[in-house]
Structure 1
Amino acid sequence: MDFANGDKYTGDYVNGIRTGQGLYIYASGTRYEGQWKDDKIHGKGRMDFANGDKYTGDWVNGIRTGQGLYIYASGTRYEGQWKDDKIHGKGKMTYANGTIEDGMWSNSSFVG
């Protein structure tokens, strides 16, 4: 399906609602491939952002929540827990310069 704003969706529908597996390509160049539920990104999936960042992991109602791997275009990477689209819980950030922060995170800030 092509949208008026330039976005495109290819995938499963149930009663006209995106549910199941699908690929969504935003006009900006960002792409999501993975699971959908009730017309929202939900379940396991991968988002490739137009800026070169990548996220692979869990989504709940269009929000990163659960386990995930985020690789920044800079080479920095975070692997761990997410809540409400923020790094939150146990996780490990490995910065492009080799610095590592491994432990607990709260609202995208390292707390130890």
Structure 2
Amino acid sequence: MSDIQESEDVKTQGEGPIKVSYIFPNGDTYEGECSRCAGVMMRSGTGTHTSAGGIIYTGEWLEDKMHGRGSLNHPSGALYEGEFKDNMYHGTGRYNFPDGSTYKGPFNKNRLEGDGAFTDTQGLVWTGEFYGKAALGLKMLHNI
């Protein structure tokens, strides 16, 4: 974060993280916790990053990367809520597509991967093994 401009005073609260509010040169903003490592400020802890294009991430950070639990909201209406690792969807999460369909289950490096459930725009729920864009052997759940 050495290329960012500080928009407010940095405040240290005892031994804990540093609370900051930054405006990046490209218009992005970050409000939340940071830590200092080798003289460089890094997002670490919890905070909200809003891109100039309207993408909003709220959640946990580690060494300047989305890492831990959080939500990523896109201007298109797409929303991911769940686990992140190294700036990627990784772990258990839920992805809401702009058309109203959803996927809930495991992610691996931004890809659907494993035993999950997809709910289509008509409300039908399909379960099975997902591998990226492929999903072999899906079963439709019936509400009887």
Q: In structure 2, what residue type is equivalent to 1:7? A: D
Post-superposition offset of 1:100: 2.7
RMSD of aligned Cα (Å): 0.9
**1:66 is aligned to 2:66:** no
The equivalent position to 1:3 in structure 2, one of 16, 24, 27, is: 24
**1:54 is aligned to 2:75:** no
1:6-52 alpha-carbon deviations (Å, 9 max, x no partner):
11000100101100001000111110000000000000000111111
Aligned match of 1:12: 33
Kept in 2: contact 1:88–1:108 (CA 8 A):
no
The equivalent position to 1:91 in structure 2, one of 116, 125, 137, is: 116
Aligned match of 1:45: 70
Post-superposition offset of 1:107: 1.8
Partners of 2:123 and 2:79 in 1: how far apart? Answer: 19
Aligned length: 112
Q: In structure 2, what residue type is equivalent to 1:104? A: E
Partners of 1:110 and 1:81 in 2: how far apart? Answer: 13
Higher RCO, 1 or 2 (CA under 8 Å, sep at least 6)? 1
* Percent identity (aligned): 30
In structure 1, list runs of 5 or more residues that go unmatched: none
Structure with the higher fraction of residues in strand conformation: 1
Q: In structure 2, what residue type is equivalent to 1:3? A: F
Partners of 2:133 and 2:109 in 1: how far apart? Answer: 10
The equivalent position to 1:27 in structure 2, one of 44, 52, 59, is: 52
In structure 2, list runs of 5 or more residues that go unmatched: 1-21, 138-144
- TM-score, normalised relative to structure 1: 0.96
